[in-house]
Amino acid sequence: MKTPLSLSLGLVICATPASAIEQCRFIQAKAEREACYHRQEDELAARRKPEPAPSTSSDSKVFESLQQMRHEDEEVYRSLRSICRGC
């Protein structure tokens, strides 16, 4: 019972990204080791890459809805000012 559990735990620990970083250190050939580090840098840069910006059509819809809300808010404020002077 302990053997399958320890094997599965070992696989989980070995599958972590930190273990991939440690593996490059133990490569003896300098060119292969540097290639390994380069691949890791590329993977890290890909993870840090910001999400692509949403399409401009959705941005324009949001902008139009915000403009409409501001226009409605201005109308409400004008009507409140005419009702309640000095409140």
Domain boundaries, the chain: 1-49, 54-87
Amino acid, single-letter form, for residue 46: A
pLDDT band at 69 (very low <50, low <70, confident <90, very high): very high
59 vs 53: CA distance, rounded Å: 10
Is the Cβ–Cβ distance between 33 and 27 less than 8 Å?
yes
- Which SS3 state, helix, strand or coil, does residue 49 take? coil
Closest CA relative to residue 43, chosen from 28, 26, 23: 23
Q: What pLDDT score does 59 carry?
A: 75
Amino acid identity of residue 8, one-letter, is S
Q: Read off the pLDDT of residues 13-55 as tens digits, 9 standing for 90 and up.
A: 444 455 555 688 888 999 999 999 999 999 988 888 777 665 6
